[in-house]
Structure 1
Amino acid sequence: MKQLLSITMLLLGLSIAAIAQERFTISGYLKDAANGEGLIGATVQVKGQPVGVATNEYGFYSLTLPKGEYQLVYSYVGYESITKAVSLNYNQKLDMQLKSANVLIQEVVVKATRSEQNVNSLEMGVSKLDMKTIKAMPALLGEVDVIRSIQMLPGVSTVGEGATGFNVRGGNIDQNLILLDEATVYNSSHLMGFFSVFNPDAVKDVKLVKSGIPAQYGGRLSSLLDVRMKEGNAKRLALSGGIGTVSSRFTVESPIVKDKSSFIIAGRRSYADLFLKLSPNEDLKNNQMFFYDLSAKVNQTLSAKDKVFVSAYLGKDVFSAKNFGDGDFKMNWGNKTATVRWNHLFSDRLFANFTGVYSDYDYEIGVPQGAQAFEWKSNIYNYSGKADFSYYLNANNTISFGGNVIHHRFTPGNVGTNGEGSFINAFKLTERNAREYAVYLDNEQTLGKRLSLQYGVRVSAFDYLGGLTVYDYQGEPNQKKLPVNPRTYKAGESVSTYFNVEPRASVRYTLDDNSSLKASYNRTAQYIHLISSSTAASPLDIWFPTTNHIKPETADQFALGYFRNLKDNAIEASIEGFYKTMTNQIDYRDGAQVLLNDHLEGDLLFGEGRAYGAEVYVKKNAGKLNGWVSYTLSRSERRIDGLSNNQWYAAKYDRRHMLSVVGIYNLSKRLSLSANFTYNTGVATTAPNARVEIDGMVVPYNSTGNRNAFRVPAYHRLDLAATLQGKHNALRRWQGEWVFSVYNAYARRNAFSVYFRQNETNPQQTEAVRMAILGSVLPSVTYNFKF
Structure 2
Amino acid sequence: MKDFFKPLVVIVFTVLFNNAFAQNNNTVTLDLKRATFKELVQTVEKQTNYYFFYNHVDTDSLQITINVTNSKLTEILKNIFDDTELYFSISNDNKIFISRNVQLHTNLGTAYFKPEKSVVKKEKTITDIEETTEENNNDKDVAIQNKLIIVGNPNAVVSGKVEVSGQVKNSKNNEPLVGAIITAGKTAVVTDYLGRYSINLSKGRNMITVSSVGMRDAIRQLLVQSSGTLNIEMQENVTALKGVVVTVSKKNSGVKTPKMGVEKISIKQLKQQPVVFGEADVLRAVLTLPGVTSVGEASTGFNVRGGSVDQNLILFNEATIFNPSHLFGFFSAFNPSVVKGVELYKSSIPEKYGGRISSVLDVSVQEGNKKKFGGAGGIGPLTSHLMFEGPTKKEKGSFIVGFRTTYSNWILKNLKDDGFKNSKANFYDLSLHLSQQINTKNFLYVTGYLSKDQFKLDKDTTYKYMNNNINVQWKHIFKNNFFGLFTAGFDNYNYGIESSLKPLSAFTLKFNINQYYIKADFTKSYGNIHRINFGYNGNFIKLNPGTFEPNGIQSLVNSTKIQQEQGIENALYFGDKMELSSKFAVEAGLRISAFTALGASKVYTYLPGMERTVSNINDSIFYKNGQPIKTYFGPEIRLSARYSINESTSIKAGFSTQRQHIHMLSNTTAMSPTDIWKLSDSYIKPQIGQQVSLGFYKTFTQQDVEVSAEVYYKWLQNFLDYKSGAKLLLNNTIETDVLNSKGKAYGIEFMLKKNSGKLNGWISYTYSRTLLQTDEPLTNHKVNRGEFYPSNFDKPHSVNFIGNYKFSHRFN
TM-score by length of 2: 0.75
- 1:467–1:488 contact (8 Å) kept in structure 2: yes
**TM alignment of 1:47-196, pairs within 5 A:** 47-49=184-186, 51-65=187-201, 67-100=203-236, 115-196=251-332
One-letter amino acid of the structure 1 residue matched with residue 595 of structure 2: F
Residue matched to 1:245: 381
Q: How far apart are residue 22 of structure 1 and its match?
A: 6.4
Q: Deviations over 1:463-495 (max 9, x none)?
A: 100111112356866966754431111111111
Residue matched to 1:412: 545
Q: How far apart are residue 68 of structure 1 and its match?
A: 4.7
The CA distance in 2 between the partners of 1:523 and 1:427, in whole Å, is: 39
Structure 1 stretch displaced more, 510-519 or 69-78: 69-78
Residue matched to 2:474: 342
Q: Deviations over 1:8-29 (max 9, x none)?
A: xxxxxxxxxxxx9666433222
**TM alignment of 1:359-378, pairs within 5 A:** 359-368=491-500, 370-378=503-511
Q: How far apart are residue 91 of structure 1 and its match?
A: 3.9
Q: Deviations over 1:608-629 (max 9, x none)?
A: 0110011001111011221100
- 1:478–1:589 contact (8 Å) kept in structure 2: no
One-letter amino acid of the structure 2 residue matched with residue 493 of structure 1: Q
The CA distance in 2 between the partners of 1:481 and 1:91, in whole Å, is: 74
The CA distance in 2 between the partners of 1:630 and 1:480, in whole Å, is: 49
The CA distance in 2 between the partners of 1:367 and 1:155, in whole Å, is: 40
Query: Are 1:651 and 2:787 counterparts?
Result: no
Secondary structure of the equivalent of 2:804?
strand
Q: 2:672 aligns with which of 538, 546, 555?
A: 538
Q: How far apart are residue 36 of structure 1 and its match?
A: 2.2
Residue matched to 2:168: 30
Q: Deviations over 1:669-703 (max 9, x none)?
A: 3322xxxxxxxxxxxxxxxxxxxxxxxxxxxxxxx
Secondary structure of the equivalent of 2:727?
coil
Q: How far apart are residue 116 of structure 1 and its match?
A: 1.7
CA RMSD of aligned residues (A): 2.4
Change beyond 3 A, Cα 1:450–1:282:
closer
Secondary structure of the equivalent of 1:622?
coil
Q: Deviations over 1:487-513 (max 9, x none)?
A: 111111111101010111110000011
Q: Deviations over 1:25-55 (max 9, x none)?
A: 332221122222221111122x223x33211
Q: 1:585 aligns with which of 719, 732, 735?
A: 719
**TM alignment of 1:594-673, pairs within 5 A:** 594-640=728-774, 641=776, 642-672=782-812
The CA distance in 1 between the partners of 2:461 and 2:652, in whole Å, is: 54
Q: How far apart are residue 101 of structure 1 and its match?
A: 5.7
Pair member with larger Rg = 2
More strand by share: 1
Q: How far apart are residue 192 of structure 1 and its match?
A: 2.1
The CA distance in 1 between the partners of 2:580 and 2:268, in whole Å, is: 36
Secondary structure of the equivalent of 1:652?
coil
- 2:498–2:507 contact (8 Å) kept in structure 1: yes
The CA distance in 1 between the partners of 2:620 and 2:200, in whole Å, is: 60
Q: 1:452 aligns with which of 567, 585, 588?
A: 585
Q: How far apart are residue 581 of structure 1 and its match?
A: 0.4
**TM alignment of 1:399-438, pairs within 5 A:** 399-438=532-571
Q: How far apart are residue 349 of structure 1 and its match?
A: 1.5
Q: 1:316 aligns with which of 426, 431, 452?
A: 452
Q: How far apart are residue 276 of structure 1 and its match?
A: 6.6
Q: Deviations over 1:728-758 (max 9, x none)?
A: xxxxxxxxxxxxxxxxxxxxxxxxxxxxxxx
Q: 1:506 aligns with which of 629, 640, 647?
A: 640
- 2:466–2:494 contact (8 Å) kept in structure 1: yes
Q: How far apart are residue 67 of structure 1 and its match?
A: 4.9
Query: Are 1:218 and 2:354 counterparts?
Result: yes
Q: 2:662 aligns with which of 528, 536, 548?
A: 528
Q: Deviations over 1:117-156 (max 9, x none)?
A: 1111112101111222222222232231111111111110
Residue matched to 1:42: 180
One-letter amino acid of the structure 1 residue matched with residue 667 of structure 2: S
> What is the aligned residue count?
638
Q: Deviations over 1:521-557 (max 9, x none)?
A: 1011000001111222211111100001111111110
- 2:697–2:708 contact (8 Å) kept in structure 1: yes
Change beyond 3 A, Cα 1:392–1:567:
closer
The CA distance in 2 between the partners of 1:563 and 1:343, in whole Å, is: 36
Q: How far apart are residue 287 of structure 1 and its match?
A: 5.2
The CA distance in 1 between the partners of 2:430 and 2:404, in whole Å, is: 7
Residue matched to 2:85: none
**TM alignment of 1:291-302, pairs within 5 A:** 291-302=427-438
Query: Are 1:386 and 2:519 counterparts?
Result: yes
Change beyond 3 A, Cα 1:102–1:171:
closer
More helix by share: 2
Change beyond 3 A, Cα 1:472–1:52:
farther
The CA distance in 1 between the partners of 2:548 and 2:456, in whole Å, is: 18
- 2:346–2:359 contact (8 Å) kept in structure 1: yes
One-letter amino acid of the structure 2 residue matched with residue 655 of structure 1: K
Q: Deviations over 1:35-88 (max 9, x none)?
A: 22221111122x223x33211112122335565543222211332222223344
Residue matched to 1:306: 442
One-letter amino acid of the structure 2 residue matched with residue 386 of structure 1: K
Secondary structure of the equivalent of 1:192?
helix
- 2:214–2:237 contact (8 Å) kept in structure 1: no
Q: Deviations over 1:286-306 (max 9, x none)?
A: 853101101011101111211
Return the structure number with greater relative CO, CA threshold 8 A, min gap 6.
Answer: 1
One-letter amino acid of the structure 2 residue matched with residue 660 of structure 1: N
Change beyond 3 A, Cα 1:192–1:283:
closer
The CA distance in 2 between the partners of 1:204 and 1:168, in whole Å, is: 22
Q: How far apart are residue 567 of structure 1 and its match?
A: 3.7
Q: How far apart are residue 92 of structure 1 and its match?
A: 2.4
- 1:125–1:211 contact (8 Å) kept in structure 2: yes
One-letter amino acid of the structure 2 residue matched with residue 651 of structure 1: S
Residue matched to 2:402: 266
Q: Deviations over 1:214-262 (max 9, x none)?
A: 2111111111100001111223222111110110011111122222111
Secondary structure of the equivalent of 1:536?
coil
The CA distance in 2 between the partners of 1:123 and 1:188, in whole Å, is: 26
- 2:181–2:250 contact (8 Å) kept in structure 1: no
Secondary structure of the equivalent of 2:505?
coil
Residue matched to 2:340: 204
Query: Are 1:443 and 2:593 counterparts?
Result: no
Query: Are 1:469 and 2:602 counterparts?
Result: yes
The CA distance in 2 between the partners of 1:223 and 1:598, in whole Å, is: 31
**TM alignment of 1:541-560, pairs within 5 A:** 541-560=675-694
Q: How far apart are residue 271 of structure 1 and its match?
A: 0.4
Structure 1 spans left out of the alignment, 5+ residues: 1-19, 104-112, 673-787
Structure 1 stretch displaced more, 88-97 or 498-507: 88-97
Residue matched to 1:9: none
